[in-house]
Amino acid sequence: MGYRVVVAGATGNVGREMLNILAERQFPVDEVAALASRKSLGTEVSFGDKTLKTQDLDTFDFTGWDMALFAVGSDATKTYAPKAAAAGCVVIDNSSLYRYEPDIPLIVPEVNPDAIDAYSNRNIIANPNCSTAQMVVALKPLHDRARIKRVVVSTYQSVSGAGKEGIDELWDQTKGMYVPGQEVAPSKFQKQIAFNVIPHIDVFMEDGTTKEEWKMVAETKKIVDPSIKVTATCVRVPVFVGHSEAINIEFEDFLDEDEARDILREAPGIMVVDKRESGGYVTPVECVGEYATYISRIRQDSTIENGLNLWCVSDNLRKGAALNAVQIAELLGNRVLKKG
């Protein structure tokens, strides 16, 4: 006997990826419902070798369904997630709405699987921000060995993190640079994204950080350890899929780069590609469609005591969103619901 699973937001980039990954990983399902807003009603989406017609999120009855993967944004989640949870369907939410609620677990299965037990507080589990997810997968095994004091991270985030509109804007703007009369002004992004980088993701906060940067700080503390100090600079770059991060880590104890490399090679969810030669590292283009978080450029930082630098790359639509949600569903099934 398998699970009855709902995917809400099934026509979006992340929702479609959730369906792909559920099928790829042969998640034990008896039935899958693809939900969308009324304007997308009846749109067909793929689930393995099957085709599903989307149903109306607004009128859907969650009674009798085991779990619902939500990829609909905070506003819609605020309306529909409590309805699903009240009907006994466990919500795994990809939006930022519930991430910072103290009684709702925020989970990266490789990092804090034991937090799954708190799902029963409200029948809701939060999925972290894409840039946080890949970083904490790399931080946790190193933290277990040498205790991290401080992290300085600069991100290079792809336009798919801003949804289909972000992908379309980069595509259209790039074409418009070469075709007179087809220039495209910024719309989804604050400035031109083609052949440019923008140090601004989400809204600005009073202290000058952006909400994206704040998310990385708050989520790392909740998922890994509240004592870790984090400072982030988040940058949108003209890449379609795949987030990259340059991470500087200061530890309480000395950690040799070779030992760090060995630890990361053995850590779940990580692939180390770190050859000190031309091309001996991973770039976003190479991580697209992959499950792993890739780590390269591991080296000592001689400017501080007990410091390391590393380069971290992952498919943001997968580990940063859909894959992590499906892994949470697998964890929930294996440890709590125990069907399939």
Q: Which residues are tagged catalytic?
A: 130, 243
Using N-to-C axis directions, what is the helix angle for 257-266 and 130-146, rounded to 10°? Answer: 120
Q: Is residue 175 part of an annotated ligand binding site?
A: no
Q: Is residue 123 part of an annotated ligand binding site?
A: no
Give the 3-state secondary structure of residue 170: helix
Q: Is residue 197 part of an annotated ligand binding site?
A: no
Q: Is residue 9 part of an annotated ligand binding site?
A: no
Q: How far apart are CA 216 and CA 68, in angstroms?
A: 25
Q: How many CB atoms lie within 10 A of CB 45?
A: 21
DSSP per position, 41-88? TT-EEEETTEEEE-EETTT---TT--EEEE-S-HHHHHHHHHHHHHTT
* Consecutive H or E run containing 90: strand 90-93
Q: Is residue 94 part of an annotated ligand binding site?
A: no
Give the 3-state secondary structure of residue 299: strand
Q: Is residue 121 part of an annotated ligand binding site?
A: no
Q: Is residue 11 part of an annotated ligand binding site?
A: yes
Give the 3-state secondary structure of residue 148: strand
DSSP per position, 181-238? T-----SSSSS--TT--BS--S-B-TTS-BHHHHHHHHHHHHHT-TT-EEEEEEEE-S
Q: Is residue 157 part of an annotated ligand binding site?
A: yes
Q: Is residue 39 part of an annotated ligand binding site?
A: yes
Q: How far apart are CA 160 and CA 241, in angstroms?
A: 6
Q: Is residue 236 part of an annotated ligand binding site?
A: yes
What does the block give as tokens for 26?
């042969």
The length of the chain in residues reads 340
Q: Is residue 327 part of an annotated ligand binding site?
A: no
User: Which residue ranges make up the annotated binding site?
Assistant: 11-14, 39-40, 99, 157, 160-161, 180, 236, 316
User: Which residue ranges make up the annotated binding site for NADP(+)?
Assistant: 11-14, 39-40, 160-161, 180, 316
